[in-house]
């Protein structure tokens, strides 16, 4: 395809849009199907380490800088992070849990009882929020599923006030070849088997390692956060490099 071939460019754009729509529909249907067993499998398949990952990510949000603020939990799923943030001692603000899979939000409704947590059915690429309306944002195991990662990062930058933090907790590819091999065996062989048996949807737990393999490295994700408008970007690798927590400040 050459720059002088507008028809080919148009076909390419249409194919890209169709691919994004297909992924969006697949992800939405998949998470709707596994929502009833999602929390159980998260804890089981991570050997319950996921709870500590979430607590560390919340600490990175530095919410104590403005405990009465408004915070966004992006790709909130069953509201684990939103509820954990709202129950922090001294927190007196509001948490908006945005996710485009309503079944996931419904599965987590009980966690928000008596807390300042509000689930919002919304697409991460077009948030129904005013610009600079949030004091910070956090996304746990969600940005990997976006049909357009860079557009999603820019949308978060739009709604977060200057000086506010954005924290991403996400799986990543371990830098160690030995760990990659062991992690690959677990992710590609054991995880789909166990996840499929309990959830009834083995495809969903084959999608997980595939999506991790396609996701940017920790360093590349850091670069893309900077390109989206975040400064002071840093990250930590956890649990032998299988998980990363990225932190960026809205410039």
Asked if 208 and 187 count as a contact pair (C-beta separation under 8 A), the reply is yes
Q: Which residues pair with 160 in a beta bridge?
A: 134
Q: Is this structure's pTM higher than 0.85? A: yes
Q: Is 50 exceeded by the pLDDT of residue 13?
A: no
Question: What confidence tens digit (pLDDT) does each residue in 186-210 have?
Answer: 999 999 999 999 999 989 999 989 9
CA–CA distances in Å: residue 3 to residues 8, 14, 101, 210, 215: 9, 16, 38, 33, 29
Q: Place 20 in a pLDDT band, splitting at 50, 70 and 90.
A: low
Span 34-83, pLDDT tens digits: 999 999 999 999 999 999 999 999 999 999 999 999 999 999 999 999 99
In this prediction, residue 15 carries a pLDDT of 39
Q: Domains in the chain, start-ordered, CATH in brackets?
A: 34-174+205-250 (3.40.50.150)
Residue 9 has pLDDT above 90, yes or no: no
The model's pLDDT over 24-37, given as tens digits with 9 standing for 90+, comes to 899 999 999 999 99
Residues 166-183: b if buried by 16+ CB within 10 A, e if exposed: bbbbbbbbbeeeeebeeb
How far apart CA 181 and CA 112 sit, in angstroms, is 39
């Amino acid at each position: 395809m050459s720059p002088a071939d507008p028809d080919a460019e148009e076909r390419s754009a249409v194919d890209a849009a169709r691919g994004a729509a297909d992924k969006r529909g697949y992800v939405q249907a998949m998470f709707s199907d596994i929502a009833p067993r999602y929390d159980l499998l998260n804890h089981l398949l991570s050997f319950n380490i996921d709870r500590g990952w979430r607590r560390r990510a919340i600490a990175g949000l530095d919410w104590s800088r403005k405990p009465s603020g408004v915070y966004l939990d992006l790709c909130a799923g069953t509201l684990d992070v939103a509820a954990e943030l709202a129950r922090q001692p001294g927190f007196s603000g509001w948490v908006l849990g945005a996710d485009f899979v309503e079944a996931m939000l419904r599965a987590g409704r009980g966690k928000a009882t008596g807390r300042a947590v509000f689930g919002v059915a919304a697409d991460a690429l077009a948030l129904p929020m005013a610009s600079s309306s949030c004091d910070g944002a956090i996304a746990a195991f969600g940005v990997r599923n976006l049909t357009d990662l860079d557009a999603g990062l820019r949308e978060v930058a739009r709604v977060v006030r200057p000086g506010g933090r954005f924290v991403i907790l996400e799986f990543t590819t371990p830098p160690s070849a030995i760990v990659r091999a062991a992690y690959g065996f677990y992710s590609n062989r054991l995880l789909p088997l166990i996840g499929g048996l309990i959830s009834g949807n083995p495809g969903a737990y084959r999608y997980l390692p595939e999506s991790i393999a396609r996701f940017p490295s920790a360093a590349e994700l850091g670069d893309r956060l900077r390109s989206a408008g975040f400064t002071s970007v840093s990250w930590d690798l956890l649990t032998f490099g299988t998980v990363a927590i990225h932190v960026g400040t809205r410039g």
